[in-house]
Amino acid sequence: MNEFSLLIKPASADCNLNCEYCFYLKKCELYPERQRHRMSDDVLERLVQSYMETSQPLYSFGWQGGEPTLMGAEFFEKVVSLQKKYGKSGSSVGNGLQTNATLIDDRMAQLFGEYHFLLGCSLDGPPHIHDLYRRNLAGNPSYDMVLKGISALKRNKVEFNVLVLVSQANVKHAKEVYDYLIGQGYYFHQYIPCVEFDEKGNLLPFAITGEEWGDFLCDIYDQWYPKDTHTVSIRHFDSILTKLVDHTDNVCTMGRNCCQYFVVEYNGDIYPCDFFVEDPLKLGNIMEMSWEELLHSPVYREFGNQKSKWNKLCEQCEWLTLCNGDCLKHRVYGGHQPHHLSYLCSGLKVFFNHTQNGFDNLAGEITQKRRDEEQQAITNPADVPINQGRVGRNAPCPCGSGLKYKKCCGKTP
């Protein structure tokens, strides 16, 4: 069976915030029959059991929303106990959770810490930047609420990534955002471009252009490369290094096919991608179908194959092996077909050109370090780390790259 991971929406698109640029809030329209969407115990158990009956090098559960912490700590306690119940001896289980952090209290933080959940907290920069679009249902700023949740994580020594959505609020302020995150002691960053269109394919006011994305990434790189390559992890940059060193993709956007994971909605409905949760692409429901059937669904296969139907210009592009035509979401907007050139292409090229030498040097360093460590392990076998089953953030990645799990793909070779 093919490897796959899960992106689960236990509270569907429900959220306690109402961020202006959120693309998922409107997905509530898919399930208008209920105002409050919560995954039932039956769906949760079926989900965990059926997934853990498949053969995977790492059982990868990604909890997302909307806001997954609306489910409360009790839900995640059930998750962990079901994973223990259905996990075979020696199985590796990874839980990731993407959150706005505003509802995290000590009980939740303690649980996430104890079970090594990989947390991603959305924070777009200092208050005057963050609060521009990230507001609650009453229209009030959310920055202080986020910091309160992050304090609970810190008190309980839970590591987390900061996820920065790059929108018109911060795209011209890369250095300010980067310095702010470092000043706060946040060393794991993820930068995501906000690229949203109306139905006619016009860019929405808060979204960014390809040129802006390229300039932003170059500015972040220029802050990071001279001094922080060993202390600050930037997901996008780590993925480039993984690609250069191991020739594998640890993010779907850099791959050749979009059959990489499944989205599981609160009621067990399955879709192929977070950005394509829509009726025509509903693959089935986990209460009625097996993962084998879902994997072989013609709709899923056809969806996945679109990724490599890229533009003719991509064929001749020197960055094709790194970019693979970019994410479908940036190609099929406004009724365009998959062979439409990525909306971000111009910026991606600027970024790849600007950073090529630096990434090549870093890739060389990693390869050399790995060789040295292998040599040392042969000399002293007692130093070889043993995978204890559950992969912690700081444990060596099971793929054997020599990188920490949190900085690598989490896959077993």
Which of 131, 326, 396, 399 binds ligand SF4 (CB under 6 A)? It is 326
Instruction: Tell the smallest beta-carbon distance from residue 322 to ligand SF4 (Å).
Output: 8
Six-digit token string for 405: 């799990």
**C-beta of 173 vs 331, nearer to ligand SF4:** 331
DSSP-assigned letter for residue 385 = -
In whole angstroms, the minimum distance from the beta carbon of 254 to ligand SF4 comes to 8
**Residue 378, token pair as written in the block:** 């042969």
Residues from 84 through 143 that contact ligand SF4 (CB under 6 A) = none
Please work out the total of residues on this chain that contact ligand SF4, with binding judged by CB under 6 A. 23
- Would you count residue 4 as binding ligand SF4 (CB under 6 A)? no
Say how far apart CA 250 and CA 260 lie, in whole Å: 10
Q: Give the N- to C-terminal CA distance of the chain in Å, as an integer.
A: 15
Candidate list 100, 342, 355, 401; residue touching ligand SF4; CB under 6 A: 342
Q: Which of 6, 7, 258, 263 binds ligand SF4 (CB under 6 A)?
A: 258
One-letter amino acid at 146 equals V
* Strands 284-285 and 269-271, sheet pairing: antiparallel
Kindly state the smallest distance separating residue 371's Cβ from ligand SF4, in Å. Answer: 31
Residue whose CB is less far from ligand SF4, 348 or 409: 348
Give the CA distances from residue 385 to residues 161, 373, 392, in Å, rounded to whole numbers and listed in that order. Answer: 25, 11, 13
- Residue 62 beta carbon to ligand SF4: minimum distance, rounded to whole angstroms: 12
Name which position in 22, 101, 171, 252 contacts ligand SF4 (CB under 6 A). 252
d(CA 126, CA 129): 6
Q: Which stretch binds ligand SF4 (CB under 6 A): 3-11, 228-236, 239-247, 325-333?
A: 325-333
**The residue type at 50:** S
Nearer residue to ligand SF4 within complex by CB, 83 or 297: 297
Give me the residues paired with residue 61 across strands: 6, 95
Q: Does 243 bind ligand SF4 (CB under 6 A)?
A: no
Question: Which of 9, 136, 4 shows the shortest CA–CA distance to 71?
Answer: 9
| Amino acid in the structure at residue 232 | V
320 interacts with ligand SF4 by CB under 6 A: yes
Grouping H, G, I as helix, E, B as strand and the rest as coil, residue 135 is strand
For ligand SF4, the binding residue among 135, 256, 336, 349 (CB under 6 A) is: 349
253 binds ligand SF4 per the rule CB under 6 A: yes
CA distance 133 to 192: 15
Tokens 């979009």 sit on residue: 258
Among 44, 118, 207, 348, binds ligand SF4 (CB under 6 A): 348
CB of 145 closer than 8 Å to CB of 15 = no
Question: Is the distance from CB of 79 to CB of 45 less than 8 angstroms?
Answer: no
313 binding ligand SF4? (CB under 6 A): yes
Phi, psi torsion values for 410, nearest 5 degrees: 75, 5
Stretch 375-394 residues interacting with ligand SF4 (CB under 6 A): none
User: Smaller CB distance to ligand SF4: residue 180 or 213?
Assistant: 213
Q: Which amino acids are annotated catalytic?
A: 274
CB of 311 to ligand SF4, least distance (A): 6
**Pick 12 or 260: Cβ nearer ligand SF4:** 260
Region of 72-80, 192-200, 320-328, 390-398 interacting with ligand SF4 (CB under 6 A): 320-328
Report if residue 317 touches ligand SF4, rule: CB under 6 A.
yes
Q: Which is nearer to ligand SF4, 188 or 310 (CB)?
A: 310
Q: Does 194 bind ligand SF4 (CB under 6 A)?
A: no
Among 307, 340, 406, 411, binds ligand SF4 (CB under 6 A): 307
Tell which phi-psi region holds residue 74, choosing left (phi > 0), alpha (psi between -120 and 50) or beta.
Answer: alpha
- Residue 246 CB, shortest distance to ligand SF4, in Å, is 19
Question: Is the backbone peptide bond immediately before 335 cis, with ω within 30 degrees of 0?
Answer: no
User: Does the protein bind ligand SF4 through residue 240 (CB under 6 A)?
Assistant: no
Contacts 24+ apart (CB under 8 A), 221-224: 221/351, 221/354, 221/355, 221/358, 223/174, 223/175, 223/178, 223/179, 224/178
Round to whole Å and give the CA distance between 70 and 111: 15
Q: Which residues of 278-358 form beta strands (DSSP E)?
A: 284-285
Pair of tokens at residue 145:
């609420």
Interface residues with ligand SF4 (CB under 6 A) are 252-253, 258, 260, 273, 275, 307, 310, 313-314, 317, 319-320, 323, 325-329, 342, 345, 348-349
